[in-house]
């Protein structure tokens, strides 16, 4: 173990070296399969840093034959610097998640090509034609398949890693592994479920426009109790392997293809958490649209199109998950052998309906928590951040925050997804 120069708290293991442009080239050249994929001599490869998330460093590498994407853990939070140390192991959990989920979501995630456990670095399929969904939505583009693809991705992976699908012995092995993803779980617990409701130096918001609202969050007893319940459920309801950070910045799209990336937050948790993060980010995309309006495009239609995606997403998720759950399975959860006769099938269908209805409330709660933390916490979204006019931005953020509160404290007011879309329209 060695300390990084200039730091008293950032510690790295002996084999670790941070891959700079030269280092990436050397690292790729040492891997025959990756070199072959790129083609030509290493010094002909084009390498550029494209780090976009908050934590890691990412390179896009192209050669005469093809490309790869390289992602490496830093021993600290990239956007915060060495003042915020972060264990390197997040790369281990991400590649483990990719390996486990790959059989169920192939075509909906990038293929893992190589993992280097000494350098905490991985090479993945390059998605050269794709852009980040969030950027596309801000630019006013439509991706007609994206919401359904994300729904299918969550449904397949959430089902496959649960005791509905497998005997609990297999599930518990994975649960044990991911329950040690402490550093990233700590980020979620602190940044989503705790800091936004307290005075914390990492919080920031559009000031002074939101000052009163932020003070209000800290004294909103009903909201804090409901957020605490969601946070407690996040830590104790370990029903599926979550992606753990499934916002619109973790999705890459073209007009015809959708891939979910950046799974370093992977851990067991409640299914509604992934669903809620995606819904919350679509709602933020919706609420922020007036901030991206131009004289030629008021963004009214685009906002409506985004809202419709929430409906598509939920409907597709329920259809896909329910189909998997109602088919014969070997999982210990709701054993198939219990439900063989027509009356059994009816009772089982009622039970699943009840379960989806509780999941819907959970999803809305997590969506609300995600909206709040993205507006008043540490990590903000470009949806709002890219609105230069701070009065306009603050005004839109206030509307989103007010709706988020409704989702968290009163999810029972929204019995179907259309209720949510209408509620958002009323608030916008």
Query: Minimal distance in Å, beta carbon 54 to its own copies?
Result: 21
Query: Minimal distance in Å, beta carbon 8 to its own copies?
Result: 22
Stretch that binds its own copies, among 130-138, 166-174, 379-387, 393-401 (CB under 8 A): 166-174
Query: Minimal distance in Å, beta carbon 239 to its own copies?
Result: 4
Touching its own copies, residues 200-229 (CB under 8 A): 219, 221-222, 224-229
Using CB under 8 A as the binding criterion, the count of chain residues that bind its own copies stands at 52
Q: Which residues of 192-215 are buried (b: 16+ CB within 10 A; e: fewer)?
A: bbbbbbeeeeebebbeebbeebbe
Peptide bond just before 252 cis, omega within 30 deg: no
Query: Minimal distance in Å, beta carbon 160 to its own copies?
Result: 15
Contact pattern from residue 79 through residue 118 relative to its own copies, giving x for each residue in contact according to CB under 8 A and a dash for the rest: ----------------------------------------
Under DSSP, is residue 109 helix (H, G, I), strand (E, B) or coil?
coil
* Secondary structure element (H or E) that encloses residue 242, with its range: strand 240-242
Give the 3-state DSSP-derived string for 37-75, with helices as H, strands as E and coil as C: HHCCCHHHCEEEECCCCCCCEEEEEECCCCEEEEEECCC
| Mode of pairing for the β-strands spanning 258-260 and 251-253 | antiparallel
CB of 169 or CB of 212, closer to its own copies: 169
Q: Is 339 a residue that touches its own copies (CB under 8 A)?
A: yes
Q: How far apart (Å, rounded) are the C-alpha atoms in residues 114 and 116?
A: 7
* Secondary structure element (H or E) that encloses residue 85, with its range: strand 81-85
Among 35, 95, 238, 248, binds its own copies (CB under 8 A): 238
CB of 43 or CB of 338, closer to its own copies: 338
Are the C-beta atoms of residues 333 and 163 closer than 8 Å to each other? yes
Contact pattern from residue 343 through residue 372 relative to its own copies, giving x for each residue in contact according to CB under 8 A and a dash for the rest: xx-xxx-xx---------------------
Pick from 1, 140, 11: nearest CA to 76: 11
Q: Is 332 a residue that touches its own copies (CB under 8 A)?
A: yes
Touching its own copies, residues 172-191 (CB under 8 A): 172-173, 175-177, 179-180, 182, 185-186, 189
Q: How far apart (Å, rounded) are the C-alpha atoms in residues 204 and 91?
A: 28
DSSP-assigned beta bridge partners for residue 114? 123
Contact pattern from residue 278 through residue 317 relative to its own copies, giving x for each residue in contact according to CB under 8 A and a dash for the rest: ----------------------------------------
Pick from 303, 309, 265: nearest CA to 77: 265
Binding site for its own copies (CB under 8 A): 162-164, 168-169, 171-173, 175-177, 179-180, 182, 185-186, 189, 193-194, 197-198, 219, 221-222, 224-229, 231-232, 235-239, 332-335, 337-339, 341, 343-344, 346-348, 350-351
């Amino acid at each position: 173990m060695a300390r990084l120069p200039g730091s008293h708290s950032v510690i790295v293991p002996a084999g670790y070296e941070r891959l700079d442009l030269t280092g990436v080239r050397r690292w790729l050249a040492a891997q025959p399969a990756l070199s072959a994929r790129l083609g030509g001599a290493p010094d002909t490869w084009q390498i550029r840093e494209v780090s976009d998330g908050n934590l890691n460093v990412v390179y896009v590498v192209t050669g005469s034959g093809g490309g790869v994407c390289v992602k490496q853990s830093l021993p600290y939070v990239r956007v915060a610097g060495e003042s915020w140390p972060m264990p390197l192991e997040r790369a281990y959990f991400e590649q483990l998640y990719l390996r486990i989920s790959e059989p169920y979501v192939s075509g909906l995630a990038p293929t893992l090509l190589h993992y280097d456990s000494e350098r905490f670095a991985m090479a993945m399929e390059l998605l050269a034609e794709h852009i980040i969904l969030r950027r596309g939505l801000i630019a006013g583009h439509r991706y007609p398949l994206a919401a359904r693809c994300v729904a299918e991705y969550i449904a397949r992976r959430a089902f496959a890693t649960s005791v509905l699908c497998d005997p609990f012995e297999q599930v518990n092995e994975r649960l044990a592994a991911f329950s040690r993803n402490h550093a990233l779980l700590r980020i979620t617990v602190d940044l989503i479920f705790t800091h936004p409701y307290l005075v914390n130096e990492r919080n920031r918001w559009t000031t002074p426009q939101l000052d009163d609202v932020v003070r209000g969050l800290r004294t909103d007893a009903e909201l804090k109790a409901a957020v605490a319940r969601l946070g407690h459920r996040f830590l104790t309801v370990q029903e599926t392997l979550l992606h753990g950070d499934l916002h619109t910045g973790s999705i890459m799209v073209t007009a015809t293809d959708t891939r979910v990336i950046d799974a370093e937050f992977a851990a067991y948790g409640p299914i509604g958490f992934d669903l809620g993060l995606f819904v919350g980010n679509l709602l933020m995309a919706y609420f922020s649209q007036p901030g991206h309006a131009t004289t030629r495009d008021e963004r009214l239609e685009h906002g409506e199109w985004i809202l419709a995606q929430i409906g598509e997403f939920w409907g597709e998720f329920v259809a896909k998950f329910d189909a998997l759950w109602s088919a014969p399975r070997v999982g210990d959860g709701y054993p198939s052998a219990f439900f063989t006769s027509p009356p059994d099938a009816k009772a089982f269908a009622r039970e699943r309906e009840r379960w989806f209805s509780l999941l819907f409330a959970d999803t809305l709660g997590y969506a609300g928590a995600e909206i709040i933390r993205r507006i008043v916490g540490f990590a903000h979204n470009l949806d709002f951040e890219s609105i230069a006019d701070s009065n306009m931005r603050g005004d839109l953020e206030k509307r989103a925050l007010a709706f988020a509160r409704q989702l968290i404290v009163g999810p029972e007011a929204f019995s179907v997804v259309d209720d949510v879309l209408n509620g958002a329209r009323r608030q916008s």
